Amino acid sequence: MPTWKSRGLRGSTLEELINRSNERYQELGLALIQKIPTPITPINIDKQTRHITLAYFDQKSTVDYIGVVQGIPVCFDAKECATTTFALENIHPHQVAFMQDFEKQDGVAFFLIYFTSLNEFYYLPYRKLKEFWERAENGGRKSFRHDELDISYAIHSPGESGILIPFLDTLQKDLEERE
């Protein structure tokens, strides 16, 4: 079973940027998006600082963020990728199932991926992830390459109004392509 300590602080910078962006979107009245905490069971607690130093995850998490943008329900997960190839093993089947069910309820599901080697943020619509996922399930590649992505979904940061990762523009593009 994975532990909190073993995962270190992977993705914490990305999540901090997303959290600040979400706060700014809320301040501007554009969106209300919350980070979903992952339930943990503490094992070791430093008595002096009262910080958890070792914990087990209680259950599988679904997505990192959930909320509403101008009346549209959204959920998304944040992922970092150090190379230009993203391994699908970084996404869990229960996350894909949750996103599929979320979209069946007329919500919008997506991933925000930070390609660290390119210093690029990318909005990956669930429907595109599903293509890659099904390709892997049918014996194809268990990853996707950056050059397989639609470059128009790249997020240019920082945005106006102090938004560090301005993903609402790409969300709008996603919505327009669904019509």
Contact predicate 79/86, CB 8 Å: yes
Contact predicate 156/122, CB 8 Å: no
77 is in an annotated binding site: yes
Name the band, by pLDDT with cuts 50, 70 and 90, for residue 6. very low
Tokens encoding 114: 């930070």
Q: How far apart are CA 142 and CA 88, in angstroms?
A: 6
Q: How far apart are CA 63 and CA 8, in angstroms?
A: 19
What does pTM read for this prediction?
Answer: 0.83
Give one word for 163, left, alpha or beta, with left for phi > 0 and alpha for psi -120 to 50. Answer: beta
Name the band, by pLDDT with cuts 50, 70 and 90, for residue 57. low
Cα atoms in the 13 Å half-sphere on the side-chain side of 159: 20
More confident site: 54 or 58: 54
Query: What average pLDDT does the segment 114-122 reach?
Result: 93
Name the band, by pLDDT with cuts 50, 70 and 90, for residue 2. very low
64 is in an annotated binding site: yes
Task: Report the sign of the C-alpha dihedral through residues 9, 13, 18, 23, in that order.
Answer: positive
Domain with 79, as residue range(s), is: 4-178
Q: What is the pLDDT of residue 84?
A: 96
Q: CATH number of the domain that 141 lies in? A: 3.40.1350.10
106 is in an annotated binding site: no
Q: What is the dihedral of CA 117, 118, 120, 123, to 10 degrees?
A: -80
> For the chain, how many structural domains are there in total?
1
Q: What is the pLDDT of residue 46?
A: 76
Helix or strand (DSSP H, E) at 132: helix 126-137
More confident site: 43 or 12: 12
Q: How many CB atoms lie within 10 A of CB 11?
A: 16
53 is in an annotated binding site: no
Contact predicate 112/157, CB 8 Å: no
Give the model confidence (pLDDT) of 132-156 as tens digits: 999 999 999 999 999 999 999 999 8
